[in-house]
Each structure stands twice: as structure tokens, then as C-alpha cells.
A and B are shown apart, each in its own frame.
Chain A
Amino acid sequence: MALSHFTRAGLGMLCGPVIWGVHFLAIYVFTAMACARRPFNPDWVAAVPGMVFAMTLLATAALLATIVPAIRANKRSRDDASGFIPWATAAFAALALVAVIWETLPVLLVPICE
């Protein structure tokens, strides 16, 4: 059915950017809350780096799980039209992967709440 094809393709294409969005929000919100509630829950601040790395690992795994099958589907495709959606799925997820890793790096360099 056309719509289910659309839903499948649409969800696949947006998978990478959505994972990026969830990762970004999760690390930002957790850090912001840990700092805001530092007087009441000082342990939260210490947990920030671990939480950020854990989220990054999860996001990386999810993105790789998106990229690899999409690349395979792209290789199997026979022309531009059929290869476009798997290509876009892989490319969007790859860009998201770069952004996820890049946005995690400040944890290694910057103090958390100062």
C-alpha cells in the first residue's frame, strides 16, 4: 500500500536526524538539570560525563544500525529512483553520527557547571 511504503521510507529517512535530536536533548536536559539542582543533588553533576558517554554510545549504535542496512539496500538498488531513499537514509544518519560525536567532545574539554 502506498502509504505504508511512504511511512516506512519516511521513518527510515528521518531515523538519523531523530536519533540526533533525542541524543542532543537528552545530554542538554540532563546537564542543565544536574547543574540547576546541584545544591539538592550534588551526585547528579558527577554523573554527567558518564551519562553523556552512555547516551553517545547508544546513539552511535542506533545510527550504525540505521546506516549499515541502508547502505546494503542502496547497493542492491538498480537505479537512481530506487536507490535514493536508502542513500538518503544512510547519508542523513551519517551526518547525524558526525554531529553526535562532535557534540559529545566538549565533555572532555569543558567544566560542567562553572
Chain B
Amino acid sequence: MMFRSAQSNDSPFEKGGLRGIYSGAERDVVKSPYPPFPKGDARLSSFGENPRAKVNTGSHEVSMTLPNPLPRPPGEFEKLKEVWKPPSGWRIITAVNNTYIGLFYVCTAFLFFLLAGVLALLMRAQLAFPENDLIGPDTYNQLFTMHGTVMMFLFAVPVVEAMGVLLLPNMLGARDLPFPRLSAYAFWAYFVGGLVFFCSLFFGLAPQSGWFMYPPLSSYQYSSGINDDFWLLGIGFIEISAIAGAIEIIVGVMRTRAPGMTLDKLPIFAWAMLVFAGMIVFAFPAVILATTLLELERAFHWPFFIAEKGGDPLLWQHLFWFFGHPEVYIIFLPAAGMVSMIVPAMTGTRLVGYKFIVLALVGVGFLSFGLWVHHMFATGIPQLSLSFFSAASMAVAIPSGIQVFAWIATIARGKLSLTVPSLFVLGFLFIFVLGGLTGVMVAVVPFDWQVHDTYFVVAHFHYVLFGGMVFPLFAALYYWMPFVSRRQLSERLGRWAFGLIFAGFNVAFFPMHATGLLGMPRRVYTYPAGLGWDALNMVSTIGAFTIAVGVIVFLIDFARNFRPSSEHNAGNVWNAGSLEWLPNGDYSVRSIPIVTGREPLWDQANLADDVEAGRYYLPGTATGRRETLITSPIDAQPQHLLRLPGPGWPPLLSAVFTAAFFLLLTGKFVMPAMICGVLAIALMIKWLWATDPGPDHAPVDIGGGVTVPVYDTGASSTSWWAMVVLILVAAAIFASLIFSYLFLWTVAPAGWPAVEALPALRYPLIATGLLAASSALIACASRALRNSAVWRLRISMLLAVPLIVAAFGFEWYGQLQPGLRPADSGYAAVVYTMIAFQGFYAFVLTLMALYTVARSFRGLLDSKRRATFDNTMLLWHYAVAQALVTLALVHGFPRLLG
């Protein structure tokens, strides 16, 4: 690593960066170490009396001036602690601090791991002997469906998201994530919904069509009970939770980094979480749409997946696996990020190939979207198409291999301490590489045909998922326990846990390769004796119970040593170099450091002491409330101070009612479900009401003469960023819907109407005019707000609402005129779904417009305090654009075909 002197500032990539922080060894005096800030009210001052810190640049040591002098004013630290203190007693459930929500999240996800593990043990007990009658076929169907669903949706994705919520703020030098109540909402929706969903098993109501829920088996003809509805609606709240978490993580990583933490200094775990969150934004929409379509088919008989009515079951597979394959990497990449943090600490050396690992993370993130058909090799897709996916499946081995070699090189360069985290990392490397190798085998189409739906595939994906995610997770639990607990976990018990889990895993799953090659299919509840499967199954069962014993040892260790505490945690027992190991408390770090390297605790002498003493930025609370520093996305320059909310009931209650909405709907309790839905929305509005506080506080001095505003609007505001990410999610859902429309046309072109059977052109033309007019009115409202013309703003918004609703009404009515009904055909179903999405946005935007106008009446909206309006405006224009594309496709495409 090499730093240049203050004069090296002519690169376009450095403009406005924290240049000038460093001085060369030959020049021990730093000029002004702080950048010019973009705001007019920011000011610079000299602070020559401030203390200095030594920074190791690798080749030499340089001096850096610190922003805040000592001693700190009396009461400053106490006030900081006071505002960040979570509620005590049972009210702790209303806490929103990332460390508390993160811990709740990790523990809940681990609970689901245990529950799904018990289901696996039941299955293995059933399969231990041929023709065993311990569990009947229906229960077995529920067991394997719930095992897969719970492991994937309630354990794997939430636990890595939870680790992000728990670790990222401290790792980035932030006080918290930018939307703490969103994190709390996401957690509680997941907690309540997940537990109720799991309990469906005890009433014989659990889904039973496999975790990927293929129609036609899962449709109304063959699964008429509400079991599969539990899956479809039950994971609705998990999808919401995952997307809420992804928004939080993207905005958190991009905007709350410590000053100086440019992208090349971002911890690898943060890179991994960024890619993870980006993948959720583009992968989850496909499954959101798929579950919506299947539920519409089950509830209202809209035939998306019924071949005789112009639907196609393969549409489900495309949509599901467009989510499902990236899902594997959604789980794996954060785990790889954890390994990349653990290996340098355990070897005492920097990670080899940092930049190549970033390349690998981003590369895997993208390439994984080109693999979905490799789950569909046996569905009759043309050979050349299969080969494209086969090639992509092999190509993804390149970035995956880069990471593995980088870890091996780091271990080779340093001196690996064989601690428990190291053992789990080594176990991960061994198992994951084996899983990767069988992955290359099943990427070869003819081989895949041979082992399709056999235990070979079960062995392969457990090697990838358990090896690639569960082993790193255990490594992470042992590694980061001293960060959240007064005591670290026991090395002795940890070695036992590792040994049992590692041995048990290989005993359980390695034989399954052979069982599969001998022809044993997946998902059979029993098998006849004498096919050569008996002994292999018995060995697998012994292995599964050995894993369970290992997990029990871990639980004993956990119960003995886990004593949650931020302020009095065990501390940096590994001598690691990343920021989460700074002394911390409920407020995260006492002062927000300036980062000069990838391992700040190794590079910056006395960093921990200086941070704890309050020598860096924002050593107290500048506004008397919770707050975090917002920095620019590339250069990590301080931009403004974001005031953060404290504990409260609305996120929790809103989440409970959201989960209740979905679950009651599953049970066909429509009215109670609607009441819960209304309550959920009302509570959200209550929680949002206090946001967008406006510039009601003077800019604050965060140290070093740096003054930042405490409010921002437009593209610099975090809420704007969140809305943009949400719009990306919406656009991805819409893209999946367009794909569905074109896919059904490809397979069933006869269902597309002749031009004379289409609605008269006046309907789409009128709808287009209404949509354009509504958007124009919103643009007019924006200008009015800028000019403080409040009545013009209110009237424009209130007029725009009926226009967008009427556009939806005209389009729906227009389709009804030629006699088209949604249940008629795949074509009709997909057309009405596209229009229904338009209606959904009309409903949401009506609420948002009324909310915005209500704020205007209460004096909470003006030319400077306009974040609420900006968000409504962004979504409005997006919804209009989507509706116009819908109209063009629905009315233009059939006419184009002639």
C-alpha cells in the first residue's frame, strides 16, 4: 500500500477526496487535512493545537492531525451514552439499535436452523432403514418441504442479513444503520411470521410440494388445501423483510462509512454485503412475482401455469430459478466475506489479493444471474440454450476460484493460529471446494441428466450450502462472539463442536453421492431393501446425528459463555485490524475515526485510544439526539449529519400486523386480514410522521473545524437513495412480468388475440393522457413547492390522484369490453396482472399523496423540507412510466403481430 503526499491531488478520482491527510516521512507537518465540503455553510478552520496520530503506510510512518482536542467537555460522553441507551426490562423489544436488532436477528435465525435441523433428523431417522414406517408419506412431504423452505428462507438469508445488521455499522465506523426502524420492522415481521409459518407443521397445514413449489403439483388441481398457500403467502413477509434489509445495507454501506474509507479501503465483508444486497434487489423480485402469480392461480384460477389454457408450468421454473440460483450466491457471498475478514486476523497478515477478491465478489454476483437454467436441464430446453447456461455455470468457477486461492495464499503468507474460527474456515475450504467440483460436474448437461433428482444432487448442494455457508457462519460466531459478549466461546468445546460437525457432515453427505449414482431419487419417504442403498442410508443417518451432537456442544458452549454486552465486551482478542474491534458501546464508537488503510487498527497507532478518548469526529451528540455521519459514496467525505430515531412501538406493531395480514389471508380470513393490513399501514404512517424533520437545527461542528448540516434533500439524502433502490426492486418485478408475457406468447401464441378482438384504441389513449397529465401535475407540484406555493402544491397533488386512478380504471374497463376475463387464458391472466400492478401503484400513490398533502397542512412540508414530497414524486414518475410501458406492450404488441 502506498500513500502520496498532500500535493498528489491532480487525479480526477481524487477530486474532493480526503487528500492531504497524509504527509510523507520527510514532511512531518500536515497542512489542512480536511476537504472542502459541498455545502455553503460548511467552514474550515485550523486546529494546530490538536493531537496527532501515527499512521503506518507500510513503507513508512506518517503523522496525522486529529480533529478534536483533549480534554473533552464534561458530560459529553455521558450524554452520548444516554441518547443511545436502549430501553430496559421487557421494553428492550422496542430497541432499534443495530447491535440489539442484529443479535435478535442472529439468534432467531439460529433458532430456525435448529428447528429445520430437527426436521432433517426426522427425515434421516425415517430413511435409516428400508421400508421404515416411522413417518408417513404426507408428513414426510411436509418435512422435506419445510426443511428446505425454513433453511433457505428463514435461516440462510436472514442470518447473513442479520450479521450485516449486527456488524456493518461498527465495521464502517458508523453509529448505526441509516434506517434503524426499518431494520426493526424487518426483524419483527420475520420473527412473528416465521414462527407462525413454522407452527403450521403442528396442525398438518405445512406446505408439501417441495421448497421450490413446482406447479402443476402446487396449483389448485393437485394441492387444494391451504398448505401451499402458507408457503406462497407465508414467505411474502420474508420477501418484504429481505428487501427492507437490502435497502438498509446498500444505503448503509454507501453512505455511512467513516471519513477516508474510500471504496478501496472498504472491508471485504462490506463489499460482500453490498453485492449480496444488490443481488436481493434483482433476484427477489422474480420470486415475488412468481408467488403472486401462483397465488392468483390458486385463489382465482388465473391460468398462468396451466398448459391447456395457454399457460406453462415452465414459466414458474424460470421465475423461481432466476431467484433460486442467485439465492445460492446470496447466501454464499456474505459467508465468503466473513471468511475474508477472519483469515487475515487468524494469520496476522493482510488479505492477499484484496482487489481480486472484490472482482470475484462482483463477478460472482453478476454471473450467478446467468445460471438459472442449469436447474432446468431436464425440461426439454433447446441444446444450444442449455449450453449457454452450462458455459456460464463453468465461468462462475473463475471468480469463485479466485477467492479460494486468495484465502490459501493468505494462509500461506501468514502464520495460521489453529483457533476454532480457523478450524471452521479450513473445514469450509475443504467442503466447499468439493461442492464446487461436483458443481462443475452437474454443470455438464449429460451428466446432469443422469443424476437429476437423485441423492447426488442432494449431496452436491449440501456440500455447497452447508460447506459454503454454515461452516463460515460457525467460524463467524466464534470469531465475533467477543464483539457482542463479555466472554469469548470456549476453545475446547469449540474444537469438539468443529470435529463433530465436520466429521458428521462428511459421514452424512459424502455417501449420498454414491446413493445418488446408484439411482436413489430425492424426496422419497422410503425405499425397498436390496437396491444397494441400505447401508449408505444408515451411514448418512449416523452422520446426521453426529452433526446434531456437534451443534448441541456448540449450544452448551453458547449457554455457558454468551453474555451479551457492547460496552463491556471481551474486545479485540484476535488482534484483528478492522474497525468493529474498536472499543464500543450502544453508541457504536465514541468518535468516528478517519480511516487511512484497510486494516485501520494495524495501520493507525493508538487508534483505539484516540477513538475512545473522543479525538476523532463527533465525539458526542451534536444535536442532543441519535445521529450518524453521512459521507459521500465514493470518497467518503463528510456530507451531513443524519438524525436517527430511538426506540418505539410502531415498527414492532406494524411488523406484527404485516405478518398477521399475510397469515390471516392464507387462512382465508379476509376481513381480519384487511383490518391487520390497515393497522400495519396506520402504524407505518405514525412512524414515518416523525421523519423528515427539516433543517430545524443549525449546522454542527463535528471536529477539526468541519461543520456539516443536519438535514439534506434531493440526491444526497438517504431517503432518496432508499427510494431509488425500492424503484429498482419495482422495475425488476416489472421486468419479470414482461418476461412472463413474452414467454407465454412464445409457448402459446394462439392465445394472443387478433387485432379486432383487442379493446378499442380509445381506452389506452385516454389512459395514456390521464397518466401523462398526472405526472405533469406532480412536476407542477414540485415547482410549486420550490416556490413555496403551498395551495398550488396541494391542488396539483389532489388532482393527480384521481387521474392516476382513472387511468387504471379505463384500462381495466377497456379490457373487459371485448369480453376478456382473467381466468380465460394465460394471455388474459398476464394482461390483467399487468393492469393490476398499475392499480396497486395507484393505491400506494394515493396514500402517499394524501400523506404528503396532510404534512403540508400540518406545516411539515416546505421548499427546504421536501424529502417526503421528493420520494412521492420519484415513485409517481416511475409508476407512470411503468404504466405507459404496460399500455404499449398490451396494446402495441398484438397489433405488431398483426
Contacts and interface: CB of A to CB of B under 8 A. Distances in A.
A binds B: yes
A88 B105 CA distance: 33
Interface of A is mostly: helix
Nearest to A110: B387
A62 B632 CA distance: 30
B574 to A, nearest CB: 25
Contacts of A73: 12-13
A40 B365 CA distance: 38
A3 B254 CA distance: 11
Nearest to B3: A79
Nearest to B632: A2
A85 B263 contact: yes
A37 interface: yes
Given A31-B388, A35-B385, A37-B746, A76 B11 contact: yes
A46 to B, nearest CB: 13
A32 interface: yes
Contacts of B362: 13, 17, 88, 92
Interface in B360-410: 362-363, 365-367, 369-370, 373, 381-385, 387-392, 394-395, 398-399
Contacts of B355: 84, 87-88, 91
A20 B366 contact: yes
B251 to A, nearest CB: 13
Interface in A45-81: 48, 73, 76-81
Contacts of A5: 15-16, 632, 634-635
A98 B395 contact: yes
Given A80-B2, A91-B359, A3 B715 contact: yes
B262 A95 contact: no
Given A17-B366, A27-B388, A112-B383, A84 B264 contact: yes
Contact of A31 (B17, B385, B392, B635): B385
Contacts of B749: 37, 40
Given A35-B382, A85-B263, A95-B399, A2 B13 contact: no
A35 B747 CA distance: 11
A11 interface: no
A103 B391 contact: yes
B79 interface: no
Nearest to B362: A92
A2 B358 contact: no
B388 A2 contact: no
Residue of B265, B395, B632, B747 contacting most chain A CB atoms (<10 Å): B395
Interface in A74-114: 76-88, 91-92, 95-96, 98-99, 102-103, 105-107, 109-114
Contacts of B16: 2, 5
A27 B262 CA distance: 37
B366 A82 contact: no
B452 to A, nearest CB: 19
B370 A21 contact: yes
A48 B392 CA distance: 19
B262 A84 contact: yes
B437 to A, nearest CB: 19
Contacts of A2: 16, 38, 632-635, 637, 639, 716
B88 interface: no
Interface of B is mostly: helix
B398 A95 contact: yes
Contacts of A48: 384
A74 B455 CA distance: 49
Contact of B363 (A24, A32, A82, A95): A95
Contacts of B265: 81
A99 B634 contact: no
Nearest to A52: B384
B131 interface: no
Contacts of A77: 11, 13
Contacts of A91: 355-356, 359
B690 interface: no
A32 B318 CA distance: 13
Given A48-B384, A91-B355, A106-B384, A82 B11 contact: yes
Given A3-B716, A92-B362, A107 B384 contact: yes
Contact of A79 (B8, B359, B385): B8
A114 B381 CA distance: 9
A47 B747 CA distance: 20
Contacts of B783: none
Would you list the 5 A-B pairs with minimal beta carbon distance, nearest first?
Answer: A106-B387, A84-B264, A82-B13, A17-B366, A82-B11
25 contacts: A2-B635, A5-B632, A6-B633, A20-B370, A28-B388, A31-B384, A33-B746, A36-B746, A80-B1, A81-B17, A81-B265, A82-B11, A83-B264, A85-B13, A88-B263, A88-B362, A99-B392, A102-B391, A103-B391, A106-B384, A106-B390, A106-B391, A110-B387, A111-B383, A114-B382
Given A24-B370, A36-B746, 13 more contacts: A2-B635, A28-B388, A77-B11, A78-B8, A78-B10, A79-B11, A80-B2, A88-B358, A95-B398, A107-B384, A109-B387, A112-B382, A114-B383
